[in-house]
Amino acid sequence: MDMHLRRTLQTALLGGVLVAAGIATEAPAQAAAVCPSNAVCFYQNSNLGGSMFKMPGSAVQRFSAYRYYNGANANDSASSVRNNTSRALTVFTNDNYKGVAFSIPAHSTIYDLGYWSLNDCFSSAKLG
């Protein structure tokens, strides 16, 4: 595959992700962005709605360094979380794994962080 074609395909794939995120904003119940297996994903809205941010690796020291697929900053924004890994995830309200800690078991989803009074407040996270 030549480089030009490869780049075109990458651009097309990225466009597909952006389109999917846009659809999710319109109809979160039907078209939420899918979190891959063995990944942790944070969502802007409850019920896996809005745009998605897939956690890179096993820890994020500062959410403010990352963005959702739609470009919005990930800090103090997550409203639902899916943990598709086999490890417990701990999320924190401050940078550097400080502040209030909240544990999300392996292979589980928190559909409404507001229920736990933790809406729009996560700033760091790590897998146990």
In the complex, the smallest distance separating the C-beta of residue 7 from Ca ion, rounded to whole angstroms, is 33
Question: Should residue 120 be labelled a site residue for Ca ion when binding is judged by CB under 5 A?
Answer: yes
Beta bridge partners of 102: 91
- Output the smallest distance, CB 44 to Ca ion, in A: 5
Given the rule CB under 5 A, which of 5-13, 27-35, 73-81, 106-114 is the region that contacts Ca ion? 73-81
Q: What stretch of H or E contains 67?
A: none
Tell me the two tokens of residue 3.
């480089």
H-helix or E-strand spanning residue 33: none
Q: What are phi and psi of 30, to 5 degrees?
A: -95, -30
* Footprint of Ca ion on 30-59 (CB under 5 A): 44
Contact criterion met (CB below 8 Å) for 66 and 78: no
Residue nearest to Ca ion (CB): 79
Work out whether 79 is an interface residue with Ca ion (CB under 5 A): yes
Question: Binding residues for Ca ion, per CB under 5 A?
Answer: 44, 77, 79, 120
